[in-house]
Amino acid sequence: MNTSDEEAEQKLPRLNAGNQLFQDLDADNVSATEIESLCMRCHENGMTKLLLTRIPHFKSIIVMAFECPHCGLKNSEVQSGEAIQEKGHRYEVRCTTKADLNRQIVRNSSASVSFPEFEFTAPPATNSVLTTAEGLVSRFIEDLSLDQPQRKEAAPAVYQAIETLLDRLRGVLELPEDEEPGRAVTLVVDDPSGNSYVENLCAPQADPKMKISHYTRTKQQMIDLGMTSEGDGAEQAAEAEAATAPARTNAHKEMEAAAKVERAVRDAAENNEILTFPANCSSCNAPCDTRMQMVDIPHFQQVIIMSTTCDQCGYKSNEVKCGGAISTKGRRITLTLEDKDDLSRDILKSETSSFCVPEVDLDMFAGTMGGKFTTIEGLLRQAHDELDRRAPFFAGDSATAEKRDRFLRFLARLDAAANGDVLPLTLVLDDPMAHSYVQNIYAPDPDPNMVTEDYERSFEQNEELGLNDISVD
């Protein structure tokens, strides 16, 4: 390689000088990639800067900024660099006061925003934004107001309909400081990718004005996200219709393969072996190993523990999957912790379980931390670390001093509870699938500090778990 080639190679942009593509945001070490690109206004060459980083709002984001020195054109954009989540997210917020309009919102480009009372829905945007509820409404008013003079002449009916909608949107911006009867509007942010967020004004407690739901994406939503193509469904339907008998054969083969895997796991459990299979790191996407072992919990059931460790970036994760049949009832376990020894009790929190500690105002929804098999102290520390590392809107310039101090005080109380400095404590573990467990140190006798109650699941719980659609005939 000659000298000119070496110099040209040195000028090539490098995204990041490390093993991780997305680096933590550091004001003292900002490594943006500069790429010469074409200006769409004057058709001269300008400069595009790319910054791949992690911040609390988007987790991983791509910040892009373009500037043309010839005509002065500037443009900036933020895109989510986060992987598409397992399920879509839907945020439904009831706005009644000015404070609700100040909620921070991360709207991913795949998210739609709607106001059901107005029968108004804004489709997914071309780019992602970090704004507030007031900012969203103001942007809608600005966009809808464009070309209104022309519409008044060309299409009076359309003009009048849009003016009526604009008046109602302007009314949203005039919500009172305190709640008043009849002055409320519902804001819905629906993101099939699961990468949009709406600020919880009552965090770390649940927000009574906000409802969060998770759903399985439709075929069309998967197509829009680029997860599949339009022809896949038709081709699969045609193949299934043309080959019913082979499909049944394939189903039997799949059942036999699943049975072989189950036998392998059980054989490994009997021999106290650990199964290892290849996977990709969910943080840096580098190849890594996932280890799996079946464990028999006394006086409960068998569970599968999976652990992943990445040698490239150091990411670690573990998850617990419960086996066995679906329980006919849900189960709520209430444990009173009276001394530090109670923090050493084993606990299995399934992915469908929620738990709370009222004394420190901790309330974790189902699915927040996945399945965990640890001790009570370990569970509290993992909750502390997750909230400290991933809770959005509590770090950076966007967080107010009052909100940040309140959150830090909460984390301090949670840390004190994990150390055993706040006793007695009450731990409530609520699992609609009854797949969670807390160690009874008095077994086989009843535990005087633990109350276990079974309850009938509600229709909404069965619907969320997908049990209403199961046919047992």
In 10 A of CB 233, how many CB atoms?
Answer: 14
Phi-psi map region of 216: left, alpha, beta (phi>0 left; psi -120 to 50 alpha):
beta
Tens of pLDDT along the chain (473 residues) come to: 444 444 444 444 444 334 456 666 565 666 788 899 999 889 999 999 888 877 554 467 778 889 999 999 988 877 767 778 878 899 999 999 999 999 988 888 899 999 999 999 999 988 778 889 999 999 999 999 988 889 889 999 999 999 999 999 999 999 998 888 888 999 999 999 888 888 888 877 778 899 988 888 888 888 888 877 766 555 555 554 554 444 445 556 656 666 666 666 666 666 677 888 788 887 777 888 888 887 777 666 677 888 888 888 787 777 777 766 778 899 999 999 999 999 999 998 888 888 999 999 888 888 777 788 889 999 999 888 888 776 666 665 556 777 778 888 888 999 999 999 988 999 999 999 888 889 998 888 899 999 999 999 988 888 887 787 776 55
Cα–Cα distance, 265 to 285 (Å, whole number) = 26
Of 346, 368, 341, which is closest to residue 356 (Cα–Cα)? 368
Cα–Cα distance, 328 to 325 (Å, whole number) = 9
Instruction: Find where tokens 């999976």 sit.
Output: 306
Cα–Cα distance, 437 to 451 (Å, whole number) = 12
User: Which pLDDT score, from 0 to 100, does residue 58 have?
Assistant: 47
* Residue 81, both tokens: 């660099």
Cα–Cα distance, 80 to 58 (Å, whole number) = 6
In 10 A of CB 105, how many CB atoms?
Answer: 24
Judge contact between 89 and 74, C-beta under 8 A. Answer: no
Please list, in sequence order, all residues whose beta carbon lies within 8 angstroms of the beta carbon of residue 87, skipping any fewer than 6 positions away: 194, 214, 215, 216, 217
Instruction: Find where tokens 């409802």 sit.
Output: 211
Q: What angle do CA 191, 196, 197 make, to 5 degrees?
A: 130
Cα–Cα distance, 111 to 124 (Å, whole number) = 5
Cα–Cα distance, 296 to 283 (Å, whole number) = 30
Instruction: Find where tokens 């617990």 sit.
Output: 320
Judge contact between 152 and 161, C-beta under 8 A. Answer: no
User: Which pLDDT score, from 0 to 100, does residue 254 have?
Assistant: 59
User: Which pLDDT score, from 0 to 100, does residue 377 have?
Assistant: 93
Phi and psi angles of residue 204, each rounded to the nearest 5 degrees, phi first: -85, 0
**Residues forming beta bridges with residue 75, ordered by sequence position:** 66
Cα–Cα distance, 457 to 434 (Å, whole number) = 10
Cα–Cα distance, 195 to 61 (Å, whole number) = 11
User: Which pLDDT score, from 0 to 100, does residue 6 have?
Assistant: 45
Q: What angle do CA 447, 453, 457 make, to 5 degrees?
A: 155
DSSP output for 394-423? SSSTTS-HHHHHHHHHHHHHHHHHHHT-S-
Of 396, 381, 285, 400, which is closest to residue 56 (Cα–Cα)? 396
> Using CA atoms in the order 77, 82, 86, 92, what is the torsion angle rounded to 10 degrees?
-40
> Using CA atoms in the order 130, 135, 140, 141, what is the torsion angle rounded to 10 degrees?
-160
- This prediction has a pTM of 0.61
* Cα–Cα separations (whole angstroms), residue 322 to 297, 347, 370, 433, 451: 11, 13, 12, 10, 22
Judge contact between 37 and 75, C-beta under 8 A. Answer: no
User: H helices of 273-427, where?
Assistant: 376-390, 401-419
User: Which pLDDT score, from 0 to 100, does residue 229 have?
Assistant: 72
Phi and psi angles of residue 340, each rounded to the nearest 5 degrees, phi first: -65, -25
User: Which pLDDT score, from 0 to 100, does residue 1 have?
Assistant: 46
Strand order in the sheet with 112-115: 120-122, 112-115, 185-191, 88-95, 210-215
User: Which pLDDT score, from 0 to 100, does residue 126 have?
Assistant: 81
Q: Identity (one letter) of the amino acid at 390?
A: R
User: Which pLDDT score, from 0 to 100, does residue 462 have?
Assistant: 85
User: Which pLDDT score, from 0 to 100, does residue 324 have?
Assistant: 66
Judge contact between 47 and 56, C-beta under 8 A. Answer: no
